């Protein structure tokens, strides 16, 4: 069975249990599951958590979920778009555990970051390529805006890979489970978070250029690079988060 919106259902029970183990769910936890689909992961979450809020956009699947979990009082199946869902309405802090539909992965990650004060951790099944971008370090071809933004507010750990054959229908790519410990505030001291993110996005919008050329719209970019101890010939992917912070802090003065 396949969702109209491109979801691939994970049916391997052993892998589902590994995801639960990685999420470190305990009896007092509230868990948000995005795109529960047929409910295989939902059922395992409900066995461990105090409450499971399953957000499903497909009305047909939602009806089936409500029927299947009608006797489980700690499961609440809600109709909703994960990209627009009002996560602030959930009481207390919560954990997110989900098999993310590939086509919304990046915007959903950024959306969830907006609620980092509410989210204590995320355990997500992602496209392998996205997972590699999430954990990428400076100097790696996968390193970019997604890597830096997520690593500014979370500590991501790639837990294990999942072969395409574990899904029905099988996707065209392999997947990976990534666990994120989420911080409500930046993990680094920073003057202006919005300005910092803007600098990073501007730099990587022209990643083949040197950092000086990609940020040449700033009149004092050369002086700021010098003050930050960054070689003006460096490419954006060579700069660490701390490098970008020193640069952004210098430019916003």
The per-residue pLDDT of the chain, averaged, comes to 94
Q: 180, 158 in Cβ contact below 8 A?
A: no
Q: How confident is the model at residue 6 (pLDDT cuts 50, 70, 90)?
A: low
Q: How confident is the model at residue 7 (pLDDT cuts 50, 70, 90)?
A: low
> What's the confidence (pLDDT) of residue 173?
86
> What's the confidence (pLDDT) of residue 3?
43
Give percent above pLDDT 70 in the chain. 97
Give the DSSP H or E segment for 61: helix 59-68
Mean pLDDT calculated for residue range 135-154: 97
194-236 pLDDT, tens digit per residue, is: 999 999 999 999 888 999 999 999 999 999 999 999 999 999 9
Q: Is the pLDDT of residue 242 over 90?
A: yes
Q: Is the pLDDT of residue 172 over 90?
A: no
Q: How confident is the model at residue 2 (pLDDT cuts 50, 70, 90)?
A: very low
Distance of CA 59 to the CA centre of its chain: 25
> What's the confidence (pLDDT) of residue 49?
98
Q: How confident is the model at residue 101 (pLDDT cuts 50, 70, 90)?
A: confident
Q: Is the pLDDT of residue 168 over 70?
A: yes
Q: How confident is the model at residue 1 (pLDDT cuts 50, 70, 90)?
A: very low
Angle of helix 105-113 relative to helix 128-135, nearest 10 degrees, comes to 40
Cis peptide upstream of residue 234 (ω within 30 degrees of 0): no
* pTM flag (> 0.75): yes
> What's the confidence (pLDDT) of residue 139?
95
Q: Is the pLDDT of residue 4 over 90?
A: no
Q: What is the DSSP secondary-structure string of 161-194?
A: EE-GGGEES--SS-EEEEEEEE-SS-SS--S-HH
Q: How far apart are CA 224 and CA 252, in angstroms?
A: 10
């Amino acid at each position: 069975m396949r969702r109209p919106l491109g979801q691939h259902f994970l049916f391997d029970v052993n892998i589902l249990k590994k995801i639960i183990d990685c999420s470190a769910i305990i009896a007092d936890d509230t868990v948000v599951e995005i795109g529960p689909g047929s409910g295989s992961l939902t059922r395992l979450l409900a066995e461990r958590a105090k409450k499971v809020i399953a957000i499903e956009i497909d009305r047909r699947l939602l009806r089936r979920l409500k029927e299947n979990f009608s006797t489980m009082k700690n499961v609440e199946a809600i109709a909703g778009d994960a990209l627009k869902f009002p996560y602030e309405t959930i009481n207390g802090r919560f954990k997110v555990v989900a098999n993310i539909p590939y086509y919304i992965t990046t915007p959903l990650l950024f959306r969830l970051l907006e609620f980092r004060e509410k989210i204590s951790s995320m355990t997500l099944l992602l496209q392998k390529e996205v997972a590699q971008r999430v954990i990428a370090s400076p100097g790696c071809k996968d390193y970019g805006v997604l890597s830096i933004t997520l690593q500014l507010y979370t500590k991501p750990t790639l837990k294990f890979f999942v072969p395409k054959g574990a899904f029905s229908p099988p996707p065209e790519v392999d997947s990976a489970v990534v666990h994120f410990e989420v911080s409500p505030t930046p993990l680094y001291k920073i003057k202006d978070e919005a300005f910092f993110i803007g600098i990073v996005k501007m730099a990587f919008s022209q990643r083949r250029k040197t950092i000086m050329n990609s940020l040449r719209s700033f009149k004092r970019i050369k002086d700021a690079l010098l003050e930050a101890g960054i070689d003006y010939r460096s490419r954006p992917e060579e700069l660490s988060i701390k490098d970008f912070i020193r640069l952004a802090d210098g430019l916003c003065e």
